Amino acid sequence: MRMSYPYWIQFQGQRLGLVWQTDDEAGDEGDTDGVLVYMGQIVWARTQEDFSDLARQHNLTLERGNEEPQNLDGIEDLLQLPASDDVCAQLLNAWNLLGDIARSVNASLDDRGREADKCYDKLFYGNNLPSIAPPGEHYSPYFDDHEQRVISEVLDRGRVILSSRLDRRATTPGH
C-alpha cells in the first residue's frame, strides 16, 4: 500500500512541504520511495492547510509526519564538523531524500559507483544504528577532501534537480 507523509524541507531559504511517499509492499521492485509529482512537477505546500488541500485534490490520506524540516541549504557544511551520529544522519537523510526526488521526476542523482558508494556507506555506518553497530562499538568516519567533494557533488546535483522541478506556478492543480 502506498503511504504519503508531509515532509518539510528548508530549501533556498524557504520552508516548503513535500508529500513523501513510500510503498510498504514494494517487494522485488526496488526502491519505490518518492515525492508527489503532478504533470512532471514536484508538488509542494507552504502550510499545513496546503497539505490538506493537496491530500483532497490528489485523493491521498496523509499519515503523521515530522514537523522538523530537513535542511538542504548548505548541508555539506556539516562535513567540516567532526563526524557524529547526528551529522552522518543529516547528510544521509538529505542524500536519500534527494535520491527519492530524482527518482520521482525520472532524473538521475548519479550517486552510484565505487567512490559514491564508499561515501554513502561511511555515512550509513556513521549513524551507528543499534541494529547495525555491534554493542559497545562506535564508528566515526573520516571524510578526506576528495570524499567531501564527492558528497557535495551528489547533494548539489540533487538540489539542481529539485530546483528545476519544483512547481513554480501553484502548489496544487486547482490553484
3-state DSSP of 132-164: CCCCCCCCCCCCCHHHHHHHHHHHHHHHHHHHH
Q: Looking at residue 147, what is its pLDDT?
A: 96
Cα–Cα distance, 73 to 10 (Å, whole number): 7
Q: Looking at residue 85, what is its pLDDT?
A: 93
Q: Which helix (H) or strand (E) holds 42?
A: strand 41-42
Cα–Cα distance, 110 to 97 (Å, whole number): 14
Q: Looking at residue 167, what is its pLDDT?
A: 74
Q: Looking at residue 82, what is its pLDDT?
A: 87
- Please give the span between the terminal C-alpha atoms of the chain, in angstroms, as a whole number: 29
Q: What is the DSSP letter of 62?
A: B
Coil, strand or helix: which one is 8? strand
For residue 147 the three cell numbers come to 570524499
Q: Mind listing the pLDDT tens digit of every residue in the chain (175 residues)?
A: 889 999 999 999 999 999 999 987 655 566 789 999 999 999 999 998 999 999 999 999 999 877 889 999 989 999 998 889 999 999 999 999 999 999 999 999 999 999 999 999 999 999 998 888 888 888 999 999 999 999 999 999 999 999 999 977 444 444 4
Surface-to-core class of residue 98, CB atoms within 10 Å of its CB (0-12 exposed, 13-18 middle, 19+ buried): buried
For residue 124 the three cell numbers come to 550509513
Q: Looking at residue 175, what is its pLDDT?
A: 46
Location of C-alpha cell 555515512: 123
Cα–Cα distance, 123 to 114 (Å, whole number): 14
Q: Looking at residue 25, what is its pLDDT?
A: 66
